Amino acid sequence: MTRPDFVTLTDVGPRDGLQNEPTSVPTEVKVALIERLLGAGFSVVEAGAFVSPKRVPQMADSGEVLRRLTRGEAQRCPVLVPNRRGLDDALAAGAREVAVFAAVSETFSQRNTQCSIAESLRRIAEVCEAAQSAGVAVRGYLSCVAGCPYEGDIDPESVAALAAALHDLGCYEISLGDTIGVGTAGSISRLVAAVARRVPINRLAGHFHDTYGQALANILAALDMGIASFDSSVAGLGGCPYAAGATGNVASEDVVYLLNGLGIETGIDLDALVDAGEFICAALGREVDSRAGRALAARRRRLSRPGS
C-alpha cells in the first residue's frame, strides 16, 4: 500500500504526558503548552481528562484548562471521558470533542477502570449516544493492543473485534494503543491488517509507546499499511499510570523529524515544536526525552554562539 502524503498528528502531551507527573503542573502552564502546540501547527491537541481526581490528580483541573482556551482552540482540543458523568462535566466546560477508551485485556480493564470489557462498552455506548445528541465528536482509544502487562500477548482478532464495536458505536476514529510498547514492526503490521478487515483504514490511528525503542519503526510499519493518523507526545512526556515501567510515549519531535525525512506533510513547524518541548520540560525541571528535540536544540544553541 502507498504511504500517505499527509499525516495528522495528535499531541497527547497535555493529557497522556502530564498525567504521570509526580507534582502538580499549574493550570496556566498546561494552557500555555496547549497554545504553543496549536501554534506549532498541530490540528489536534488532547487537553485533559475528566476522570476521578483521586485516581489521576494531575487531571483535576481539566475543566479550568478548557475554560481558559478560546472557543477556536477548544474546538481542536479533545478530552478523555470514562463515563456519562465525565461527559457531562466535559460538556459543561465547553468540550467540543471527547475520547473514550477500552482495554483489549480483561485484566487491564479491571485494573484501569474497575470494570469488565463488556461493562466498558456499555459505558462507551452511553457516552457516544449522549455526545452525538449534543453534536460532539467521539474518538475511541484501545489500550494494550500489542500486549498486556498482566496477560502477555494479545490476539489481533480480539483487537479487531473491539475496534469494530467502537466504530459501530459511532467513534469517528479508533486509536490503537500499544500501552506498554512491546510491539514490533512485524506484530504491528499483522495487527493493522487484522483490524483493517473490520474497520476502514482511514478510521484507524496509531498510538505507540517507545518502551523498547520500537515506536518509530512501528509508525513506519503502520504508514506502509495505510494509516495516516498518529498520536505522539511533546518531548516524549508520559506513559500509563497503570502499567509499571511503560513510560515512554513516542516524542512528537522524533515523529515529525521522521515524517519530514519521508517527505510526508504534517503542517507542523518542527522548530516551534522544539520550543514547546523545551518550555514544558523547563517548567517540569526535567530533560527533553526526544532525540530529535535535544539534537535540534543543541544545534541551534551552537549556531547562535558568536563566531559559529
**H helix count then E strand count, the chain:** 12, 11
Percentage of residues of the chain with pLDDT beyond 70 = 96
Q: What is the pLDDT of residue 31?
A: 97
**In this predicted model, what pLDDT tens digit does every residue of 191-245 receive, in sequence order?**
999 999 999 999 999 999 999 999 999 999 999 999 999 999 999 998 554 455 5
Please state the rounded mean pLDDT for residues 27-55.
Answer: 96
| Active-site choice (128, 144, 148, 240) | 240
Q: How confident is the model at residue 23 (pLDDT cuts 50, 70, 90)?
A: confident
Give backbone dihedrals phi and psi of 169, rounded to 5 degrees, phi first. -75, -10
**Beta-strand runs (E) in the chain:** 8-11, 44-45, 48-49, 79-80, 97-103, 137-143, 147-148, 152-153, 173-178, 204-208, 229-232
- Looking at the structure, give the CATH architecture of the domain made up of residues 8-304: Alpha-Beta Barrel (3.20)
Strand-strand pairing, 152-153 and 147-148: antiparallel
User: Quick check: 11 and 48 in contact, CB under 8 A?
Assistant: no
pLDDT digits (tens, 9 = 90+) for 55-95: 899 999 999 999 999 988 888 999 999 999 999 999 999 99
State yes or no: is 171 an active-site residue: no
pLDDT given at position 273: 98
At residue 6, what are phi and psi to the nearest 5 degrees? -135, 135
Cα separation, 59 vs 30, in Å, equals 10
pLDDT in tens, 44-57: 999 999 999 988 99
Domain extents for the chain?
A: 8-304
Residue pair 249/237 in contact (Cβ under 8 Å)? The answer is: yes
Assess whether pLDDT exceeds 90 at residue 291: yes
Q: How far apart are CA 162 and CA 168, in angstroms?
A: 10
